[in-house]
Amino acid sequence: MTVKQIAASLLCLVLILLGIVGLGHITRPTGDDVAIAGIEAFHQLPENSVDVIVYGSSHAWRNVNVNAMYDNYGIGAYNYASNWQRWDTTWLFFHDSLRTQSPKVVLIETFHVNSNIFDDDMDGEVYYTTAIPDSPYKREYLDMCFEGDIGRYLSYYIPLVAYHENKTLLTADNFTDTSNTVDFLDTKGFYPRDGQFVADVKDWTQMEKWVIGDRSLEMLDDIVNTCHERGIEVVFFTAPWSTEEFQYFDVMQQYADEHGCAYINMFEHMADAGISEETDFCDPHHLNISGATKMANYLGAYLKEHYDLTDWRTVPGNMWENHA
């Protein structure tokens, strides 16, 4: 084979690979664009710049307007949560964040504390973790999800394998770099949602009490032990919703008491926070901007009272002062 033939073959291979990557991007689930943008924004933060990090599912991502913590208490917080997030994904986000940040306090939301991805196919939640850099924790997470199935790994690293059937569902957003419109560096990770929904929040004391399984407890223990080793305070919290009638509130309170952590059940403190069923929800599961600001104010007041946190309002040029 001549040099020209080798060069032509290599060029052909490169073009094929570029085509696979390009088609994988075009057929991607664009609903994940916003989650990926949130992850990418977190990794643009200066190292060790955040005092408080919020983790969890959309019950954290949409429900805690961390800029309000700065406005009212000077707390330097960042919301590193995302959509749908089950407990092992929260575990991954937690460990990923500690590669670049050294928070004084972590706020961990618990709606999916007993729900994990194990032995499963690629889905939107797993797909958005492609934006998280490689690490031993990420490899362990993917092994939990895929359990060594080569086809699942191919779907993860070559999205066209998983999403080629989306070719019949393409919209204009598929042909853009991203469909995300949120400036997460400005919102500090918070995903603001507007609108109003009249919620019917159930009496939490009457909800069916569930327990936490061994797999979730192992990851809970790992998170708490890691925090204790690093001198990080742990605050678990539950945001209010108006659909499911089960609760982990009692078992989370017991776990927190036994492990030197705090737990805040916001069902119990809705009135104290001023959160209204009539005006502060945007759908059955989530608060709107008004509700998320009230929730952040309540949590911020708790943090300010119980922990020694810098008042960043006294530090000129800090990264919270010019938020929208």
Per-domain residue ranges of the chain: 3-308
pLDDT score recorded for residue 165: 55
Q: At a CB cut-off of 8 Å and minimum separation 6, what does 322 contact?
A: none
Sign of CA dihedral 253, 255, 259, 261: negative
| Largest pairwise CA distance in the chain | 78
What is the rounded CA–CA span in Å between residue 159 and residue 198?
39
What's the pTM? 0.92
pLDDT score recorded for residue 324: 87
For 267-276, give one letter per residue: b (16+ CB within 10 A) or e.
Answer: bebbeebebb
What is the rounded CA–CA span in Å between residue 112 and residue 82?
12
Q: In the block, which residue shows the tokens 């492990």?
A: 259
What is the rounded CA–CA span in Å between residue 222 and residue 127?
24
Q: At a CB cut-off of 8 Å and minimum separation 6, what does 26 contact?
A: 170, 174, 175
3-class secondary-structure state, position 208: strand
C-alpha triplet 224, 116, 45: angle, nearest 5°: 55
Contact 246, 210 (CB under 8 A): yes
Tell whether domain 3-308 is in CATH 1.10.10.2840: no
Contact 238, 109 (CB under 8 A): yes
Amino acid letter for position 39: I
pLDDT score recorded for residue 172: 72
Q: At a CB cut-off of 8 Å and minimum separation 6, what does 79 contact?
A: 53, 54, 60, 61, 64, 66, 187, 188, 189, 190, 191
pLDDT score recorded for residue 162: 61
Residues in the chain predicted with pLDDT less than 50, given as ranges, are 164
C-alpha triplet 298, 56, 116: angle, nearest 5°: 145
Q: In the block, which residue shows the tokens 């939990």?
A: 144
Helices of type H across the chain: 3-26, 33-42, 58-61, 66-73, 87-97, 124-128, 136-146, 150-157, 159-163, 184-187, 214-230, 249-258, 270-273, 289-306
Contact 267, 109 (CB under 8 A): no
Angle at which helices 87-97 and 214-230 cross, to 10°: 20
pLDDT score recorded for residue 164: 46
Contact 99, 224 (CB under 8 A): no
